[in-house]
Chain A
Amino acid sequence: MKKLLVAVLILISAVLFAGTVSVIGPWSGGEMDAFIPVLEAFKAETGIDYTYQTYRAEDLANVLPAQFSAKKSPADVIFMWSSFITSNTKNILELTDVIDTDAYIPGALDNVTAADGAVYGIAYTAKVKPGFWYRKSFFEANGLTAPETWDEFLTLLEKIRATQGVKNAIASGNGVGWPLSDVTEHFLIAFGGPELQKDLIEGNTSWNSYAVRNAIGKLVYLIEKGYFSEPTEWTTILEQWWNGDYGLYFMGQWITGMVDDPDDLAVFSLPGNRGMVFSIDYAFIPEFAANKTEALELVKFLSGEKGQSIQVSQGGHIATVEVDMSNYPTVDKEIAKLTEGVETLNDLDDSIGGLWQTAFWDQLKLLWVRPERLDDVLMDLEQKMPE
């Protein structure tokens, strides 16, 4: 009886004095619903309560510098672009000895590692941007098949557009602008190779170069032929695409967690594609976090096998540490197959960041409705590249 009483008292103390960790992430709606179970599992395991706030990275980029200069932080654990983490290391806790860096897949932590080898962020799960998604049922009902050549791709687009009830072949997501940039990067990688993506990120290639014009030219050709829809808010058009208004939708892997029946999903990359954007979600602990101890516990959990297993089982994520394949839903296992033999690449605009990212998104919105302005678009992008 005494032992039971002591155990109960310890448990109550653990709960009462466990503290709370505040988390900021970019996810809302369905994506947030897929992240909460991870936080719930963390709470159940450690007794540490949590709060979660949605905040877009581009808004955080404005807020955080001012907060840091006031020696404050809006949360204890913040998900943010790797470019922000590595350019603000003096305001961020070093995590080299906190997380198990050897447990990660090779290269996962490169983007949050400083030149001296110090690690300033964790790599949480990743999403790939594999290609054009379609509903298997839609393809079966209309006798369509995934293309293996560029000409087959054009034929497919024509067939989809001609299908009764379909508004257009490819749905174009809009909002801030990143859905259009994801499509554009796919074309840059498919027709310029992984080297082009890397060169553009490093600033080694001009936006007016032949390689870029050739790759984007293929995209512009499709836009001019009218195969892409008007840019529409990306979650609105997701529903429309799912309901059959459009045949294809270029989106990241998180789409599998946002549809009613992920088993009806399939995806193909542009024929000949040799690279794929492997977009890792990074998180860090600010130096001014109010609950550092709790935050350290959370980042250990998120960078560990258990936390990432729970996340990948929700669908739409790929672990950056070793997890049992049985955790993955069927459709994500198929995505993993697509990544075989292709080079994983950083996201272009996330890597460059700053004003250029805003300009990239903005110029693509213009390109989508006025493809004849390609020259102006490329010139503006070149001018706004950071020096």
Chain B
Amino acid sequence: MTREANGVSATQRVTAGADVAPAVPLVVRHVAKSYEVDGRLVPVIGDLSMTLDTGQVVSIVGPSGCGKTTLLNTLCGLLTPDSGRISWYGQEITGQPQNVGYMLQKDLLLPWRTALGNVMLGLEIRGVAAGEARDSSHAMLDQLGLHGFADHYPSTLSGGMRQRVALARTLVNEPAVLLLDEPFASLDFQNKLLIESDTAKLVRERGRSLLLITHDIEEAVSLADRVIVLSKRPTRVKAVYDIALGIERTDMMAARDSRDFSKYVRQIWADLDVVLQ
């Protein structure tokens, strides 16, 4: 367990190495973003640097309202940062990065499409042949335990099932990198553990990279190889933890049972410096 006294220097050390090897999926250097509210400039992201390596799972936790969602929208090109650099696979791009899947707390399923139709959406947009899209979408639904629900409309599915469909819609495009923004926050505990375990399997088995934004510390520690703790606004990196639980990282219950789990949780909780208001 390596607790960095100064998280910023730790990330900088890592990103410095990343600059030499351009295959690193995501490198963020000194990104800042402000919003204009009533003519005043409100800084949301102060100065943020981080790296996501190939096959790595990184969780970002932070106090409520610390601009996590702004960060995610900036990373996927929906917002432009005021300063700093974001490079995907060594390239700075404008607009949406290729090969990146994106999923939010809201499942955003289209109510007029069946579960299958929703999963096929991305393939359809990319112009994949209908038969092929249908087959791989069916396979993805089956993998996420939704066999037999392909023809159901979202309105007839439970919250957990809808979020599984949303996950299938993201994964069926075979993204190399997943950006998830509180994807399981609205689910009950059992459903959350199950879908977290499935996500971990599907990410780790295929060597995908995952960036998970969450305010659930236990979720962050049980899923991730590295947890980045953000400060209050204007956001910067407060601390970085490399999580070593010494177990298979696809079983969320086992992760919670492991020896060091609660130590990480306690330390991150202390870092968040949550006070009753």
Q: Verify that A and B bind, or say they do not.
A: no
Report A's interface with B, CB cutoff 8 A. none
Interface positions of B (Cβ within 8 A of A):
none
